[in-house]
Amino acid sequence: MTYSTTTSANSRPVARLEAHRIVLIAIGIALAATAAALMRWDWLPNYYALAIEGLWRTVLILIVTCAIGFALAVPLGMAQVTGPIWLSLPAKAFCTVIRGTPLLLQLWLLYYGLGALFPHYPWIRESNLWPLFRQAWPYAILALSLSCAGYEGEVMRGAFAGVPLGQLEAARAFGMSRWKVFRRVWLPQAIHKALPTLAGETVLQLKSMPLVATITVVDLYAVALRVRQDTYVIYEPLLLLAVAYMTLTGVLVWIFNHLEARIPVRVG
Partner 1 sequence: MTATIRAIPRNTVSDAAAEAIHIEDLHKTFGTLHVLKGVSLSARDGDVVAVIGSSGSGKSTLLRCINCLESPTSGVIRVNGEEIRLKPDGNGSTVPADRKQIERIRSRLGMVFQSFNLWNHLTLIENVIEVPVSVLGVKRERATAEAEKLLARVGLLEKRDIYPAFLSGGQQQRGAIARALAVQPRVMLFDEPTSALDPELVGEVLAVIAGLAREGRTMILVTHEMKFAREVATHVVFLHEGRLEEEGSPDALFSSPKSERLQQFIRRVG
User: Which positions lie near partner 1, rule CB under 8 A?
Assistant: 1, 3-7, 166-167, 169-178, 180, 184-185, 188-189, 192, 263-266
CB of 198 to partner 1, least distance (A): 16
Q: 180 vs 228, which CB is nearer to partner 1?
A: 180
CB of 74 to partner 1, least distance (A): 16
Q: 3 vs 123, which CB is nearer to partner 1?
A: 3
Q: 171 vs 227, which CB is nearer to partner 1?
A: 171
SS (H, E, C) the chain: CCCCCCCCCCCCCCCCCCHHHHHHHHHHHHHHHHHHHHCCCCCHHHHHHHHHHHHHHHHHHHHHHHHHHHHHHHHHHHHHHHCCHHHHHHHHHHHHHHHHCCHHHHHHHHHHHHHHHHHHCHHHHCCCCHHHHCCCHHHHHHHHHHHHHHHHHHHHHHHHHHCCHHHHHHHHHCCCCHHHHHHHHHHHHHHHHHHHHHHHHHHHHHHHHHHHHHHCCCCHHHHHHHHHHHHCCCHHHHHHHHHHHHHHHHHHHHHHHHHHHCCCCCCC
Q: 11 vs 216, which CB is nearer to partner 1?
A: 11
Q: 184 vs 207, which CB is nearer to partner 1?
A: 184
CB of 179 to partner 1, least distance (A): 11
